[in-house]
Structure 1
Amino acid sequence: MSIIYLRRSVRKYQKKDVGDEIVTELLRAAMHAPSAGNAQPWHFTVIRSEEKKQRIAEAHPYARMVLQAPVAILVCADPSLEIYKGFWVQDCSAATMNILLRAVELGLGAVWCGVYPNEERVEAFRKIFGLPEHVVPFSIVPVGYPAETPKLVDRFKLERIHYEVW
């Protein structure tokens, strides 16, 4: 469980490259996420281009840290690959979380920036990356070596637990 407790949203990165083999490992972790019916309805776009990162920052007001990150991963859903309709949101959430957790294990920092369900962001990301109309950009994950250490916080809340009934 320690890796789960150590994960923090890192928004500041060192000027240090993240190699292709490490990015592949993050994507391998993403693709090991559970998915409804094992449909794996995801696609990933690796972004290193400064021009693309600039366009992301302009389209997404809470993703400006992408400008500092050496790499970002766009997690997309392809609902046409689903077996059980409507579960792609959970599937892509699990894939995104696996990226974040594997990043911590590899000494990296990352942050989950939601794209879906904000329609303006969805359309902007479709244009930036030339996505087919049926593909849904779900999240953008800037990744890099941390230049900050966010404080660890115990988020356990006993009052949020119910047994048998509310």
Structure 2
Amino acid sequence: MLTTTSCNNSTSGDSAPAVESNQALDAIYTRTSVRQYDASRAIAKDTVDMILRAAMSAPTAVNRQPWAFVVIDKREILDSLAEGLPYAKMLKHAPLAIIPCGDLDKALEGDGQAFWIQDVSAATENMLIAANALGVGAVWTAVYPDESRIDAVRKVLGMPATIMPLAVVPMGYPAGEHHPKDKWKPENIHYNGW
């Protein structure tokens, strides 16, 4: 397991700042996209609830919380989504998926409506980090803004027009080895201007 004290950038040789081990940072630094799952292990409801509680702890514009989450654990629905989503074929082997959505009825009005995308994205990242911290593998598969993917999800789930699926996040206990990518690149950082 990668810890906060051992985050080295293998491409540049530079190291991230050394700090004492921290559970929150460890969960962030070790998060990786997991696409292979142990089909024999279901995810308990209390684990799903903890992941969703983490999602709903995300910040939102004007605290509107313009989100809704659809939890899918029925095999026929997971398989149907896999058929309609070209980059979510791992759903056929996942025991569960969560679909974070924007609820446009709760979103800001006018030009501010698009802030739902940032709000639900923050919630989705919280879900991924919480899943990792709980030993659950997950991967973000994009839906929004691709109209064909939005239509595929809406059709399978019978969603109203005011609910906008942002992503489909397949989840399961990892099968096989998965290693996080070290993305620390100091050259991407600018202080006090470009």
Asked if Structure 1 and Structure 2 have the same fold, meaning a TM-score greater than 0.5 normalized by the shorter chain, the answer is yes
Q: Deviations over 1:108-157 (max 9, x none)?
A: 11001111011100011111101011110111111111103322322111
SS at match of 2:79: helix
Q: Please say which structure displays the higher CA radius of gyration.
A: 2
What's 2:29 paired with?
5
Q: Is contact 1:18-1:144 (8 Å) kept?
A: yes
Q: Aligned partners of 2:163 and 2:71: how far apart in 1?
A: 16
In 1, distance between residues paired with 2:90 and 2:171? Answer: 10
TM alignment of 1:16-27, pairs within 5 A: 16-27=41-52
2:114 is paired with a residue of what secondary structure?
A: coil
Partner of 1:34: 59
* 1:71 and 2:96 are equivalent in the alignment: yes
* Secondary structure of 1:146's aligned partner: coil
Q: Does 1:160 align with 2:184?
A: no
Contact map agreement 2:32 2:181 (CA 8 A) in 1: no
In 2: Cα distance, 1:68 partner to 1:85 partner: 35
The RMSD of aligned alpha carbons is 1.1
The amino acid of 1:9's aligned partner reads S
CA shift, 1:165, in A, is: 2.3
Alpha-carbon distance between aligned partners in 2 of 1:122 and 1:135, rounded to the nearest angstrom? 10
Distance 1:28 1:147 in 2: 25
Offset of 1:163 from its aligned partner?
Answer: 1.9
Q: Is the 8 A contact 2:51 2:131 kept in 1?
A: yes
Paired residue secondary structure (2:161): coil
SS for the counterpart of 1:99 is helix
Deviation at 1:26, TM superposition (A): 1.0
Counterpart of 2:7 in structure 1 is none
Bigger CA drift: 147-156 or 133-142?
A: 147-156
Task: Kindly tell me the number of residue pairs found equivalent between the two proteins.
Answer: 166
- What displacement does 1:87 show? 0.3
User: Gaps spanning 5+ residues in structure 2: where?
Assistant: 1-24
Select which of 8, 23, 48 maps to 2:73: 48
Q: What CA distance in whole angstroms lies between the structure 2 residues aligned with 1:138 and 1:7?
A: 20
Q: Distance in 2 between matches of 1:148 and 1:88?
A: 35
Secondary structure of 2:87's match?
Answer: coil
In 2: Cα distance, 1:23 partner to 1:12 partner = 18
TM-score (norm 2): 0.82
TM-score (norm 1): 0.96
2:135 alignment counterpart: 107
Residue 61 of structure 1: aligned partner = 86
